[in-house]
Structure 1
Amino acid sequence: MPISLKRASTFVEGLDHPECIAFHPDGSLWAGGEAGQIYRISPDGKTIDTVAGTGGFILGLAFAPGAEWLVACDLRKQCLWRLDVKTAQLTEFARGVPGHPLSIPNHLAFAADGALYVTDSGHFRQADGAILRFDADGSGRGGVWHPGPFNFANGIALHPRDAALYVACTWLPGVERIAIQPDGSPGKRTVFARLPKSLPDGLAFDARGNLFVSCYTPARIYRITPDRNVTVFIEDWEAHTLCNPTNIAFGGADRRNLFAANLGRWHITRIDARTLGAPLASMATNE
């Protein structure tokens, strides 16, 4: 049975249709806007600073290990941006890899060694998405890690213990799992879960290995256990508190709250999840 919607509330409002969120180890929450804004939100949600702007449309955000810089996916500019957290200097990170220009750079995840995985969703309803991998040196060089094809590869997450990458495939609809071989190459690809009549978008693991999946529609977040038991974690049939929830992330002082960006509105939702979120690569220095 889903948890009560009373456990969800507005953490911050006044953003420009946020698609993505990412936590910095200092407790600040970063988000993107549909006009290319990159926001920094204070840990208490009371202050919003527009750190940078690309003039595009920001989709995914992720901090590199050490959290001194982040990478942002830009839908409109069809590129990845690198932002220095201290100086706010914004530079182009990549427009693709050899033989594969970016079409819809959607979401991204850093591995502990600094390697960066990025979904390129492909064209609308054409099932031609792929996953790129960029070198750990931060140079912006990389290649196609898995050519797919994926049916609109969207949010991704690395399992906290298992060597695998999980991908939300919006038009599957569901989640796929790709094993990561010891040499870093992709291994077996399987459908981890199917989520009929939904549009899965964002992914986040808790420390127990449960996978949380936010859906653009309906306004719902699923929880999938390691043995693939799928349940509805929370839903909002009115689509007010949760409205087209896209990316999700665990955060808060004890990392037991789940935050959701609401592309359909102007706010970020905080959910009392009562489970510890899995640490990300950017948190390595604080763990």
Structure 2
Amino acid sequence: MEEPRSHPIKLDFHGEHLSRPESVLVTANGGVFVSDHEAGVLELGSSRRPLVGPPKDFVPNGFALLKGGDFLIANLGGEGGVWRLDATRSPSPFLMEVERQSMRNTNFVMLDHKGRLWITVCTRQTPRELAFDRRIADGYVAVIDEHGARVVADQLAFANECRIHPGGEWLYVNESVGRRLVRFRIHEVSGRATLGPKECVHEFGDGDFPDGLAFDCLGGVWVACVISNRVIRISPGGEKQVILDDSDPELNARAEADYATFGVAKSVFEMGMSRRLRNVCSVAFGGADLRTVYLGSLGGDRLASFRSEVAGHQLAHWQFGS
């Protein structure tokens, strides 16, 4: 299969009245699930069922689908942590602290093919907007395996989404404020996972702040960048290709000026929501051929999608619900 080529992209939009559809998850049977402020997780095409007794200031962010049909949701608001959502629609605490540390600002949770859960906490700062300063790097990655939960990588500049490389040997993480895509080699001894030293895969600029990511079947990394509203592919050889660009040059320049003085104002981040992609923040491959690319956003009320020449990598949850 050839590398994707640059050409005009036709966008389609799905759903309506979505509430902060930040994260997207797709299954083989055609299910498209999005994080939703009111429902926790909402399947497109189904009626919204509000959460029953959610915790105060519950902000569903990244989420994982388990084999039995329950969801694990990273709570970016309030007390943070990872919460389980079952058929009762009543969220229950799943993991609220790790190594005696409160998990405020939990950003993402992911299930891998070995049944391990990988969790990112973007910062220890309260409120989290304090970590929009590039001098602060206190985010971390935790793992849950058969030996329990523990921190396996620390000192990340706003840790965001993470994914396992299709080969299984690397964990890739976006540092949103560090503006880097980084990776860690995964080591495992007797079922206990650890991570090697951090390696930089790509550094971003020109208003690009990496948020979500997904792998295609060729090993390329597709990265959604807030503020610039770009989707960028980093090839296995490190070459950058802009797949989709909905940026505003003036806004990009303002973000760069802010960043040069160490911090980006929250208002600048929010200005990206005025673009058509509404601060694109996540990428998910779906469709029967894994060539439909769904895009989550921080400020949209619908999901955007387009067709890709290259198929996505099949994730651990792909066959769940089939």
Superposed pair shares fold, TM > 0.5: yes
1:159 equivalent in alignment to 2:197: no
Q: Tell me which of 196, 199, 204 is aligned to 1:190.
A: 199
Q: Name the amino acid aligned to 1:114.
A: G
In the aligned structure 2, how far is the partner of 1:244 from the partner of 1:193? Answer: 21
Q: CA deviation at 1:51?
A: 6.1
CA contact (8 A) 1:40 1:51 kept: no
1:105 equivalent in alignment to 2:109: no
| Number of equivalences | 276
Equivalent residue for 1:4?
Answer: 8
In the aligned structure 2, how far is the partner of 1:3 from the partner of 1:61? Answer: 32
Equivalent residue for 1:275?
Answer: 310
CA contact (8 A) 1:212 1:221 kept: yes
Q: CA deviation at 1:204?
A: 0.3
Q: Name the SS for the 2:82 alignment partner.
A: strand
Q: CA deviation at 1:60?
A: 0.3
CA contact (8 A) 1:10 1:241 kept: no
**Structure 1: tracts of 5 or more residues without a match:** none
Q: Trace 1:50-199 onto structure 2 (pairs within 5 A).
A: 50=49, 52=51, 54=54, 56-64=58-66, 66=67, 68-77=69-78, 78-84=80-86, 88=89, 90-122=91-123, 123=125, 124=131, 125=133, 126-135=136-145, 141-146=148-153, 148-183=154-189, 184-197=193-206, 198-199=208-209
Point out the structure with the larger helix share: 2
In the aligned structure 1, how far is the partner of 2:100 from the partner of 2:238? Answer: 36
Q: CA deviation at 1:48?
A: 4.2
In the aligned structure 1, how far is the partner of 2:303 from the partner of 2:151? Answer: 33
Q: CA deviation at 1:284?
A: 5.3
Point out the structure with the larger strand share: 1
Q: Trace 1:258-273 onto structure 2 (pairs within 5 A).
A: 258-273=293-308
Larger radius of gyration: 2
> Over the residues paired in the alignment, what is the CA RMSD in angstroms?
2.3
Which stretch of the first structure deviates more once superposed, 167-176 or 233-242?
Answer: 233-242
1:248 equivalent in alignment to 2:257: no
Q: Trace 1:217-236 onto structure 2 (pairs within 5 A).
A: 217-236=227-246
With normalisation by structure 1, the TM-score equals 0.88
Which stretch of the first structure deviates more once superposed, 127-136 or 207-216?
Answer: 127-136
Q: Deviations over 1:193-240 (max 9, x none)?
A: 011131110000011111000011101000000111111111113664
Q: Deviations over 1:105-160 (max 9, x none)?
A: 111221212110101101313210010111359xxx411121x2000000111111
Q: Name the amino acid aligned to 1:193.
A: H
In the aligned structure 2, how far is the partner of 1:36 from the partner of 1:98? Answer: 30
**Structure 2: tracts of 5 or more residues without a match:** 126-130, 249-273
With normalisation by structure 2, the TM-score equals 0.79
In the aligned structure 1, how far is the partner of 2:166 from the partner of 2:50? Answer: 30
Which stretch of the first structure deviates more once superposed, 125-134 or 218-227?
Answer: 125-134
Identity %: 24
Q: Deviations over 1:35-84 (max 9, x none)?
A: 56321114xxxx443363635111101123x3522211111131211123
